[in-house]
């Protein structure tokens, strides 16, 4: 677009006459308009890419391939919840991140939470981070126990979610490293920490 506008500018010759000068001014205005449009398109594209985990357009999948557990787990049993989360980590360890994914070919952060809660804990959660962040009750970080959901603001409109295990550790899906366990004490996660929810 830059080149097209520049060629149009070069094709005109400024002379003393009013008509050629007027045409050049119009072409310059068109060039500025094209630059602004190009920048807006770039910003919109980047924004769509950064939506990450919060962009799933539905609350809960219909006809989900993830079978719900027949019995709901008691979250007061911290030992059992920790064991399930660690087993889930070992089963999904290093599976790559894939936006909208829900299988071992690739999964996103809200997908791992959805799948774990449904298949292992017997709880049917919404599929997207946006709606998951509205479930349950808000709790302070100091009140966290195994199985609580921890949320992060990783960008202007980007949200991330993980499942708390113990001693500051949480299970989640990193966009660069896939399924992994990280620490809330890590400077990055500490800085972008948003809130926690308990079901």
For 72-198, CATH number out of 1.25.40.10, 3.90.1720.10, 3.40.50.300, 3.40.309.10 equals 3.90.1720.10
The residue from 22, 45, 138, 172 that is catalytic is: 172
Q: Please indicate whether residue 172 is annotated as part of the active site.
A: yes
What is the enclosing helix (H) or strand (E) of 103?
strand 102-103
For 46-92, what is each residue's pLDDT tens digit? 333 333 454 444 444 444 667 888 789 999 999 999 999 999 999 99
Q: Domain limits of the chain?
A: 2-49, 72-198
- Distant-in-sequence contacts of 114-118, Cβ < 8 A, 24+ apart: 114/66, 115/66, 116/84, 116/85, 116/88, 116/163, 116/171, 117/199, 118/64, 118/66, 118/67, 118/68, 118/69
Instruction: State whether residue 199 is helix, strand or coil.
Output: coil
If one counts every other C-beta atom within 10 angstroms of the C-beta of residue 47, the result is 13
pTM of the model: 0.70
Give the pairing of strands 169-174 and 178-183: antiparallel
| Residues 169 and 183: beta-carbon distance below 8 Å | yes
Q: Based on C-alpha coordinates, what's the Rg of the chain?
A: 25
The residue from 45, 46, 97, 160 that is catalytic is: 160
| Residues 73 and 129: beta-carbon distance below 8 Å | no
What is the phi/psi pair of residue 171, to 5°?
-95, 130
If one counts every other C-beta atom within 10 angstroms of the C-beta of residue 12, the result is 16
Pairwise CA distance, residues 179 & 173, whole Å: 4
For 98-142, what is each residue's pLDDT tens digit? 999 999 999 999 999 999 999 999 999 999 999 999 999 999 999
DSSP symbol at 144: -
Residue length of the chain: 199
If one counts every other C-beta atom within 10 angstroms of the C-beta of residue 60, the result is 13
The residue from 45, 94, 97, 109 that is catalytic is: 109
For 142-180, what is each residue's pLDDT tens digit? 999 999 999 999 999 899 999 999 999 999 999 999 999
| Residues 85 and 179: beta-carbon distance below 8 Å | no
Q: Please indicate whether residue 109 is annotated as part of the active site.
A: yes
What is the enclosing helix (H) or strand (E) of 66?
none
């Amino acid at each position: 677009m830059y080149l097209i506008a520049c060629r149009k500018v070069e094709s005109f010759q400024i002379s003393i006459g009013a008509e050629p000068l007027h045409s050049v001014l119009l072409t310059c205005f068109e060039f500025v308009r094209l630059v602004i449009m190009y920048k807006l398109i770039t910003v919109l594209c980047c924004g769509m890419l950064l939506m990450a985990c919060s962009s799933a357009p539905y609350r809960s999948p219909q006809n989900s391939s993830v079978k719900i557990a027949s019995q709901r787990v008691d979250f007061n049993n911290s030992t059992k919840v920790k064991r399930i989360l660690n087993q889930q980590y070992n089963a999904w360890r290093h599976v790559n991140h894939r936006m909208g994914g829900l299988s071992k070919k690739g999964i996103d952060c809200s997908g791992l939470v959805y799948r774990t809660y449904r298949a292992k804990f017997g709880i049917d959660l919404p599929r997207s981070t946006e709606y998951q962040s509205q479930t349950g009750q808000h709790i302070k970080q100091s009140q966290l126990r195994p199985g609580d959901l921890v949320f992060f603001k990783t960008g202007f409109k980007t949200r991330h979610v993980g499942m708390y295990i113990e001693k500051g550790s949480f299970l989640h899906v990193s966009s660069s490293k896939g399924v992994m366990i990280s620490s809330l004490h890590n400077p990055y996660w500490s800085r972008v920490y948003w809130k926690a929810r308990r079901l």
